[in-house]
Amino acid sequence: MTASRRTWLRGLAAAGAAALVSACDRIAGDPAVRAGLKGAEQLNQGLHRVLFDRRTLAREYPDSAISPDFPANGSISPGDPTYRALAAGGFADYRLIVDGLVERPLALDLAALRALPSRSQVTRHDCVEGWSAIARWTGARLAPVLDQAGLKPEARFLVFHCFDTLDPEAGEDGRYYESIDLVDALHAQTLLAYEMNGTPLSIAHGAPVRLRVERQLGYKHAKYISRIEAVADFSHISGGKGGFWEDRGYEWYAGI
Ligand SMILES: Nc1nc2c(c(=O)[nH]1)N[C@H]1C(S)=C(S)[C@@H](COP(=O)(O)O)O[C@H]1N2
Ligand SMILES: [Mo]
């Protein structure tokens, strides 16, 4: 190709681009078109927020809505020896481990957890089995805990390892676990809850610490948390699907 031909082609492309830009300007400059675009954009944004913004808060209720009888479900009295020993000691020796892809692994006792930024919220728990119940949950916000540990850039999920074995016949794979991504981990209502309705968590409801991840179904709310592991992916853990129930066919993202 000759130099003059190249110059000519460049000129043509520039002219084409200029024509396109001016056409767009003309269309966008039309007040009716502009109003329409803006309307569509606002509607789209509104819909998007409602449908897809995972940072939106779950509904919170007045204390008067608290359920007098909140069922306990799944494991309600873990028999695992480590857990039994901790429970016998009033969880004085309990340490919540935060490790994996973090700069500073943590081992928090209950006093340390209670000293962290906390939140209290009255929310509705929806179990996939078809019941719902409302309670006040109080606990450490997960985001500041992660700040303290310092997530490494490769961290994409948090895996919650639990003390209880829900399916003893499955051996180590019968242990309960769950996982969430960082959007839910950093959500304002995501708590490491240590109180339910103003009293320390009972064993049936997950003592000493359970997860509240209010935008998702009940099985995501891991009880009896022993360890939070930051990972890049969870395919190597247990059945590989990110949770005890997920390994048995439930959805990983159980949004409500
Ligand atoms: N460690 C652990 N966490 C768990 C479960 C479990 O069996 N073990 N069950 C899940 C299910 S299906 C539900 S509905 C809730 C029940 O919480 P609750 O006992 O406080 O009602 O805990 C979830 N978290
Ligand atoms: Mo559930």
**Over the stretch 90-128, which tens digit does the pLDDT of each residue have?**
999 999 999 999 999 999 999 999 999 999 999 999 999
Give the separation between CA 36 and CA 144, rounded to whole angstroms. Answer: 43
Find out whether the beta carbon of 73 lies less than 6 Å from any atom of ligand 1.
yes
Whether 18 shows a pLDDT value over 80: the answer reads: no
Give the separation between CA 77 and CA 93, rounded to whole angstroms. Answer: 18
pLDDT band of 220, cuts 50, 70, 90: very high
Whether 144 shows a pLDDT value over 90: the answer reads: yes
Helix (H) or strand (E) holding 95: none
φ and ψ of 23, to 5 deg = -65, -45
pLDDT tens, residue by residue, 27-58: 444 555 555 556 666 667 777 666 678 889 99
Q: What share of the chain has pLDDT > 90, as a percent? A: 79
- Which protein residue has the closest C-alpha to ligand 1 atom 10? 219
Amino acid occupying residue 136: R
Find out whether the beta carbon of 222 lies less than 6 Å from any atom of ligand 1.
yes
- Which protein residue has the closest C-alpha to ligand 1 atom 18? 72
Distances (CA, A) of 133 to 58, 124, 220, 236: 14, 5, 15, 34
pLDDT tens, residue by residue, 59-101: 999 999 999 999 999 999 999 999 999 999 999 999 999 999 9
Radius of gyration of the chain (CA): 25
pTM of the complete model? 0.84
Instruction: Output the pLDDT for position 6.
Output: 44
Partners of 120 in the beta sheet? 138
Q: What's the N-to-C CA distance of the chain in angstroms?
A: 61
* Half-sphere exposure in the Cβ direction for 134 (13 Å, CA): 13
Instruction: Output the pLDDT for position 55.
Output: 87
Ligand 1 pocket test, pick from 178, 192, 221, 224 with the greatest ligand atom count within 8 Å of Cβ, gives 221
Find out whether the beta carbon of 218 lies less than 6 Å from any atom of ligand 1.
yes
Write out the E strands in the chain: 96-100, 106-108, 118-126, 132-141, 157-165, 175-181, 191-196, 199-200, 210-212, 225-231
From the CA of 74, give the closest atom in ligand 1. Answer: 7
Cβ–Cβ contacts within 10 Å for residue 204, how many? Answer: 16
Give the separation between CA 201 and CA 214, rounded to whole angstroms. Answer: 17
Of 143, 163, 148, 136, nearest in space to 70 by CA: 136
11 in the Ramachandran plot: left (φ > 0), alpha (ψ -120 to 50) or beta? alpha
Give the separation between CA 138 and CA 142, rounded to whole angstroms. Answer: 12
- Which protein residue has the closest C-alpha to ligand 1 atom 12? 219
Looking at residue 151, what DSSP letter applies?
B
- What is the CA 229 to chain-centroid distance, rounded? 14
Find out whether the beta carbon of 221 lies less than 6 Å from any atom of ligand 1.
yes
Instruction: Output the pLDDT for position 50.
Output: 64
Instruction: Output the pLDDT for position 44.
Output: 73
Give the separation between CA 246 and CA 176, rounded to whole angstroms. Answer: 11
pLDDT tens, residue by residue, 1-11: 444 444 444 44
Instruction: Quote the ligand 1 centre to 116 CA distance (angstroms).
Output: 24
Of 217, 149, 219, 221, nearest in space to 190 by CA: 221
